[in-house]
C-alpha cells in the first residue's frame, strides 16, 4: 500500500492544488525610453540623459528614476539623477520626461565597458530597467 503525505491528502480532500504555482513577476504596464548621445562618452564632459515614462497611449506618467552602474553584470554604484541639484542617492521624481544635462563620467571609468542602468518606477504600474552599455574615453 502506497502512503500519501497528509498535506497532499488534505489538498485533494479540499479540492486544492497540491502545489501552488509560483507567480510570475508582474510586467510593467507603461512605456519607458532612454536617450543618450552615444556609447563612447568622454570622461569629465557633460553627457545628457533623457528618460521618458508614458502610458501606451502616450499620456505622461509620474515616475521615479535611479541610476545603477554595472561592471560585468554586477551593480558597482547607485546614484540618484541630479538635473537640478547636488549629488544624492535617492530616486528622482518626474512626470513624463526627465532631462539630466549634468551627468558626467568620472576619469576612473576610462577604458572599462560599463552598463548604465536607469531604473524607472511608476506607482501601481511596476518598474523597468533601461540598460545602455558604454566605454568611456579620455
CATH number at residue 85: 2.60.40.1940
Q: Residue 87's domain spans which residues?
A: 23-135
Q: Which residue has the cell 486544492?
A: 16
Distance CA 119, CA 68 (A): 7
Examine residue 102 and state whether it is found in any structural domain, yes or no: yes
Examine residue 1 and state whether it is found in any structural domain, yes or no: no
pTM for this entry:
0.77
Number of domains in the chain: 1
For residue 68, the cross-strand partners are 78, 117
Read off the pLDDT of residues 61-93 as tens digits, 9 standing for 90 and up. 999 999 999 999 999 999 888 876 666 778 999
Examine residue 5 and state whether it is found in any structural domain, yes or no: no
Examine residue 12 and state whether it is found in any structural domain, yes or no: no
For residue 97, the cross-strand partners are 52
Higher-scoring residue by pLDDT: 14, 79: 79
Amino acid at each position: 500500500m502506497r502512503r500519501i503525505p497528509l498535506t497532499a491528502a488534505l489538498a485533494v480532500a479540499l479540492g486544492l492544488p497540491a502545489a501552488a504555482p509560483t507567480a510570475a513577476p508582474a510586467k510593467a504596464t507603461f512605456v519607458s525610453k532612454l536617450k543618450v548621445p552615444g556609447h563612447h562618452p568622454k570622461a569629465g564632459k557633460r553627457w545628457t540623459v533623457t528618460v521618458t515614462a508614458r502610458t501606451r497611449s502616450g499620456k505622461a506618467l509620474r515616475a521615479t528614476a535611479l541610476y545603477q552602474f554595472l561592471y560585468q553584470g554586477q551593480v558597482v554604484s547607485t546614484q540618484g539623477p541630479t538635473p537640478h541639484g547636488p549629488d544624492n542617492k535617492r530616486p528622482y521624481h518626474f512626470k513624463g520626461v526627465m532631462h539630466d544635462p549634468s551627468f558626467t563620467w568620472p576619469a576612473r571609468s576610462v577604458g572599462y565597458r560599463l552598463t548604465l542602468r536607469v531604473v524607472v518606477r511608476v506607482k501601481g504600474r511596476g518598474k523597468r530597467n533601461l540598460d545602455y552599455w558604454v566605454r568611456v574615453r579620455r
